[in-house]
């Protein structure tokens, strides 16, 4: 297996994933390499369904093994919101900042600020399809802290480390984050296939 496609056009996400899978693949492509594919609609009811929609769409189009992921922030005070709607919490055309501000607004009165970040990764190559997930526990801060990362990273604080995801370097994040935890499981599965 020499090629893989990361089913994303998000530069931050591509960089994070590519850093970890690089030793296993000679060529790492992304959705950006297939401009003829219009946006893949993520209309699944779960993170697993959305990750599979992305990886299977790319595999069916290209015949190349594909990795799709979906991530959701699940906040206890909000009964698991925004969850599968994390990327569009403030609406279909919302920016990362719009989503973050809506979350902070909805948590103004929250005393319990615990949350989890969950990433589900799906792999599709037509023979060895599988899913893995990574879960990171933390707390939602009252205001952003840190300049790295994207999405909700600047308000997701990890007490055991003493930093938000946005305060970590990409190297730290590639070991600690919810995506990193899912990628660790993903790489174990890939090693079995090889």
Active site (catalytic) residues: 70
User: d(Cα 183, Cα 85) in Å, to the nearest integer?
Assistant: 22
Which CA distances in Å does 188 have to 3, 32, 84, 131, 137?
18, 27, 26, 12, 22
Pairing of strands 114-124, 66-75: antiparallel
Give the residue ranges of DSSP H helices in 30-176.
Answer: 47-62, 96-106, 170-176
Question: Do 99 and 89 touch, CB atoms closer than 8 A?
Answer: yes
């Amino acid at each position: 297996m020499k090629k893989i496609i990361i089913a994303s056009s998000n530069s931050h996400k591509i960089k994070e994933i590519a850093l970890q899978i690089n030793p296993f693949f000679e060529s790492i492509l992304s959705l950006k390499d297939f401009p003829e594919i219009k946006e893949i609609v993520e209309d699944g009811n779960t993170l697993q369904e959305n990750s599979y929609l992305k990886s299977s769409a790319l595999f069916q189009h290209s015949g190349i093994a594909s990795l799709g992921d979906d991530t959701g922030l699940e906040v206890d005070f909000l009964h698991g919101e925004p969850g599968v709607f994390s990327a569009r919490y403030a609406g279909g055309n919302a920016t990362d900042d719009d989503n973050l501000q809506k979350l902070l607004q909805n948590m103004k009165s929250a005393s319990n600020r615990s949350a989890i970040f969950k990433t589900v990764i799906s792999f599709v190559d037509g023979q060895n399809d599988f899913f893995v997930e990574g879960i990171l526990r933390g707390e939602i801060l009252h205001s952003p802290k840190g300049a790295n990362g994207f999405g909700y990273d600047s308000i997701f604080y990890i007490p055991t480390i003493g930093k938000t995801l946005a305060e970590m370097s990409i190297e730290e994040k590639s070991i600690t984050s919810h995506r990193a935890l899912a990628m660790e499981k993903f790489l174990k599965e890939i090693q079995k296939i090889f």
